[in-house]
Amino acid sequence: MTAIFTLFSSKRHEAPEAGGLACTDVTPEGFLFDMGGHVIFSHWEYFDQLLDTALGGGPDAWNTLQRVSYVWMRDRWVAYPFQNNISALPKEDQIKCLTGLVEAKVSNTVAQGRPKNFDEWILRVMGPGIADLFMRPYNFKVWAIPTNLMQCNWLGERVATVDVDRAIANVINNKEDAGWGPNAVFRFPTSGGTGAIWKGVAKLLPAERQRYGQKVVSIDKDAKTVTLDSGHVYQYDSLVSTLPLDITLSWLGKEEWAKGLQHSSSHIIGFGIRGECPHGTKCWLYFPESNCPFYRCTVFSNYAKLNCPADDAKLPTLCKGDGSDPESGEAKAGPYWSLMFEVSESNYKPINQEQVKLGGAAGTWSDVVRDTLVGAINTQLMQAGDEVVSIYHRRIEHGYPTPSLGRDEVLDKALPWLQQHNIWSRGRFGSYKYEVANQDHSLMLGVECVDNILYGTKELTLAFPDIVNAKKNAELLYTKK
């Protein structure tokens, strides 16, 4: 029998529970915050059934939500996807965008070969108007790297292309067009946040085979051993690892390969606020402009009532929405609502880590927290006088695996080389493929990896991202085994 040993990476080196980057933290005041904008939409019935087994099915376990997403630009909300809704922009911006779309459509018909990078793809598909107004600044805020240093093989269903005739018709008819995307309808746990899903999955597995709170410090590919910081050594026949591939390669003497992989770090910032949420049913929102540090904000209280404390819970006001002293620090009841922000960081886009004192009892926080409060007011997400009752901040070193220009060259060498040494590096950062890095993708990468080890079957998700990301094709592949 093959002894398969699995290493799971985490936002923390010594994770106390299952979940990794899909975990949920709880503030002392009782507000829940995920490690980013996670929602559940799936390409596989297998994945759906597993989650229903882990948490149960139906409305007691899951909220089903309609995506309500907007881009904040030019002091107004523009429906997502932006490129289908330029009718909401000022007339001069509409003209620039439409002119660029027509130019792109003409030039793309005579273009030779595939785009060389993401920036060239943007220009070919959307033209210079949308590129300069939205795509370039927004994607830099997300990826923390210029678009001309990114490849475009990862795109697939991740970025909406443009139907030029439809865009023109929407402008003429002043029509909002917001239905695109694989996540137009999604679901979310009624309690426990995204992390509840993976804690539920862990309960389905033998508890005696799981270890938490332990840190791996080295792998010996020749001896087939994994060493912990405690000094304990595990022997394996086959190793499945979700540790970041760049770290694994560095441990195994392949530093040059590791240097060919790039990632960005993520700052997750959350505010719990007293009062009624002023943002209706909005879900997640996009921010391409420079008046705020975050690229995305989720109205996290809209996902589940239990993401906030009970309305009758009495909490003191820590500070006002602008970070100043509150009028009173007396504990009062709710109701409550919450916002969760994401800010990227890299060498191309450094973040000030200095500590600053906020007003009242809020205490000392990283400068990015104060900047986020200011940005939330600039973008009308919060008001200066709002009562902030909870503040959350966590920095995640490996936040996004960057589809850099040199990524595929490294993966084409590194993943087979590791496999020759009985190491299957898989998952969001294990295989470094953002195009198959959602929760459903990551789970299926694991399922197929084990099948490959035991039976030699093909790993379809890893090898054919474009196919598995087409819903019908994915169902055919996995129901006709």
User: CA 300 to CA 308: how far, in whole Å?
Assistant: 9
| Cα 200 from chain centroid (whole Å) | 21
Q: What is the pLDDT of residue 14?
A: 63
Domain co-membership, 312 together with 369: yes
| Backbone torsions φ then ψ of 87, nearest 5 degrees | -65, -20
The encoded tokens of residue 74 equal 């030019």
Of 113, 115, 36, 118, residue with least CA distance to 404: 118
Q: Yes or no: say if 315 and 29 are a contact pair by the CB < 8 Å rule.
A: yes
397-434 tens-digit pLDDT: 999 999 999 999 999 999 999 999 999 999 999 999 99
pTM: 0.93
Q: Yes or no: say if 16 and 150 are a contact pair by the CB < 8 Å rule.
A: no
User: CA 433 to CA 426: how far, in whole Å?
Assistant: 9
For residue 151, the enclosing domain spans 70-173
Q: What is the pLDDT of residue 11?
A: 43
Q: What is the pLDDT of residue 158?
A: 46
Domain co-membership, 109 together with 55: no
Domain co-membership, 76 together with 44: no
Domain co-membership, 63 together with 75: no
Q: What is the pLDDT of residue 42?
A: 83
Q: Yes or no: say if 104 and 204 are a contact pair by the CB < 8 Å rule.
A: no
User: CA 277 to CA 315: how far, in whole Å?
Assistant: 17
Q: How many domains does the chain have?
A: 2
Of 475, 430, 301, 380, residue with least CA distance to 74: 380
Domain co-membership, 139 together with 153: yes
Helices 45-55 and 439-455 cross at an angle (nearest 10°) of: 110
Q: Residue 335, preceding bond cis, omega within 30 degrees?
A: yes
Q: What is the pLDDT of residue 104?
A: 87
Residue 338 within a domain: yes
User: CA 1 to CA 18: how far, in whole Å?
Assistant: 26
Q: Which amino acid is at 60?
A: D
User: CA 341 to CA 176: how far, in whole Å?
Assistant: 25
56-68 tens-digit pLDDT: 989 999 999 988 9
Q: What is the pLDDT of residue 301?
A: 98
Q: What mean pLDDT is reported for the chain?
A: 90
CATH number at residue 60: 3.90.660
Q: What is the pLDDT of residue 480?
A: 39
Domain co-membership, 89 together with 164: yes
